[in-house]
Amino acid sequence: MIGAKPPLRQKHVWAIRTKLQIEERTRDLAMFNLAIDSKLRGCDVVALKVEDVAPNGYSVDRATVRQKKTGRPVRFELTEQTRQAVDSYIKAAGKRPGEFLFTVTPRQISPFRSTFFIAD
């Protein structure tokens, strides 16, 4: 496909969320929900730090992040569903302020890829 790709339809977003919830992929669900809510580029989502969305250990209603490409601040609202997913992930992963929110563990890197994606 050449050019811009069409955005995900609402039914596709819900299908992906449901699949991630059923498979108990808390990290991927938090990442997906944050990407949808914020509309940030992938490079900006993976560069998020814990304090960007949860400065006191719990997700905030609104966050502001500076985009890498443009240098402009982007303010976005986190839905209740996203806040719950992020809080569950932070608790399960034991994340602390100062750390990157999303990190890759060795089990997430496939030996069959020359590059890897930040998802399981």
pLDDT of residue 48: 96
Domain harbouring 21, CATH code: 1.10.443.10
Range of the domain at 96: 10-101
pTM of the entire predicted model: 0.81
Instruction: Count how many domains the chain has.
Output: 1
Residue 47 falls inside a structural domain: yes
What are the pLDDT digits (tens) for 32-88?
999 999 999 999 999 999 999 999 989 999 999 999 999 999 999 999 999 999 999
Give me 41's structure tokens: 């580029």
Query: Residue 46 CB: number of other CB atoms within 10 A?
Result: 17
Give me 66's structure tokens: 């500076």
